[in-house]
Amino acid sequence: MKISKTHKRFAAHLDNQTALKYPERFLGPNWKDVLNFWLYLDTWSAEDTEIVFNRYWDLGVCGPLKGLTWRTAKDTIGIEYASVAWDVPFTIGSSYATLELIGSHNLESLTFLPLFL
């Protein structure tokens, strides 16, 4: 299994290398989607990152939607792992997209992940 830079940072922040071998224990039932997204982020250029950053700010997402995304991820994997999963991606948009993927099985729709399409 190829390991993304973000996945490596996730394990390092947790100070637990088990997160590399058994990500399902840390990222919940949608762990494959999260890892695929993190691998996808490794392919991004600075220009791609700027485009998504601008889309994120243009979206003008209100606090309640961000809060719902956070709570859903926290309820799925716990506050410690959700906090680290939010912290390790390189932009705020990718942080919220990560949390959205973690809790996607309990969300009606996705808002942040489509910014990356």
Model confidence pLDDT, tens digit, residues 8-55: 999 999 999 999 999 999 999 999 999 999 999 999 999 999 999 898
Taking residues 53-82, what's their average pLDDT?
90
Distance from C-alpha of 109 to C-alpha of 117, rounded to nearest angstrom: 15
| Tokens describing residue 43 | 């392919």
pLDDT of residue 37: 97
Is the pLDDT score of 65 beyond 90?
Answer: no
Judged against a pLDDT cut of 80, whether residue 63 lies above it is answered with no
Please give the Cα distance from 33 to 53 (Å, whole number): 21
Tokens of 58: 């243009």
Question: Which pair of tokens denotes residue 25?
Answer: 């224990």
What is the share, in percent, of the chain residues with pLDDT greater than 90?
79
Given the structure tokens 């003008």, which residue do they identify? Answer: 60
**How many domains does the chain divide into?**
1
Average pLDDT over residues 75-98: 93
Closest C-alpha among 55, 95, 105 to residue 75: 105
Q: Which domain holds residue 60?
A: 5-116
CA distance 102 to 27: 6
